[in-house]
């Protein structure tokens, strides 16, 4: 009789031990200490971003922008005479209201082509601004303008 009592106690002991370990394991797994919360950075509206969730867009899209550039840019006479061709990379910032600022040539080809690229960008209409988490932000944009003789 005493032997049967210890067997029952012993089997209940291991069952209880397993149950307690199971409950502790589940509790620890669901504990917020072990959860990694994603770090959410605030959006700085004064910062100039290079990577955004929603890119700025020229009114009418890329095709409209290339059409505008084709109509606006006049091949400089000095570049024609010297046979200068290549790409002018113009950098600028699209502001939160869509206007353009901080226009500069990153890499030019000279002979008046750089100035022509700056003039074309300066006269562009306002863009649709870029966004991060549904907030408009300032975005740096680099536009390659191709000059080629035909």
Burial (CB count within 10 angstroms: exposed 0-12, middle 13-18, buried 19+), residue 101: exposed
Q: According to the model, what pLDDT value does residue 31 have?
A: 61
**What was the pLDDT predicted at 28?**
62
Two tokens at 62? 């890329």
Q: What does the pLDDT profile of the chain (150 residues) look like in tens digits? A: 444 444 444 555 566 666 566 666 666 666 655 566 666 678 888 999 999 999 999 999 999 999 999 999 999 999 999 999 999 999 999 999 999 999 999 999 999 999 999 999 999 999 999 999 999 999 999 999 999 887
In this prediction, residue 149 carries a pLDDT of 82
Which two tokens mark 103? 């226009």
pLDDT at position 7, please?
47
Distances (CA, A) of 120 to 37, 67, 100, 102: 46, 12, 11, 14
Burial of 110 (0-12, 13-18, 19+ CB in 10 A): middle
* Cut 0.85: pTM above it: no
Q: How many Å from the N-terminal Cα to the C-terminal Cα in the chain?
A: 109
Element (H, E) at 63: helix 62-72
């Amino acid at each position: 009789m005493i032997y049967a009592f210890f067997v029952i106690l012993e089997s209940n002991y291991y069952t209880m031990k397993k149950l307690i370990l199971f409950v502790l394991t589940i509790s620890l797994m669901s504990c917020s200490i072990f959860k990694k919360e994603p770090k959410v950075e605030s959006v700085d509206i004064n910062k100039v971003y290079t990577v955004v969730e929603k890119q700025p867009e020229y009114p009418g899209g890329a095709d409209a922008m290339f059409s505008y550039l084709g109509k606006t840019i006049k091949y400089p006479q000095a570049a024609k005479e010297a046979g200068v061709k290549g790409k002018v990379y113009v950098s600028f910032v699209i502001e939160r209201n869509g206007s353009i600022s901080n226009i500069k040539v990153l890499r030019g080809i000279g002979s008046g082509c750089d100035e022509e690229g700056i003039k074309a960008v300066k006269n562009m209409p306002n863009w649709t601004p870029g966004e991060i988490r549904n907030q408009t932000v300032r975005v740096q944009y680099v536009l390659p303008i191709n000059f080629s003789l035909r």
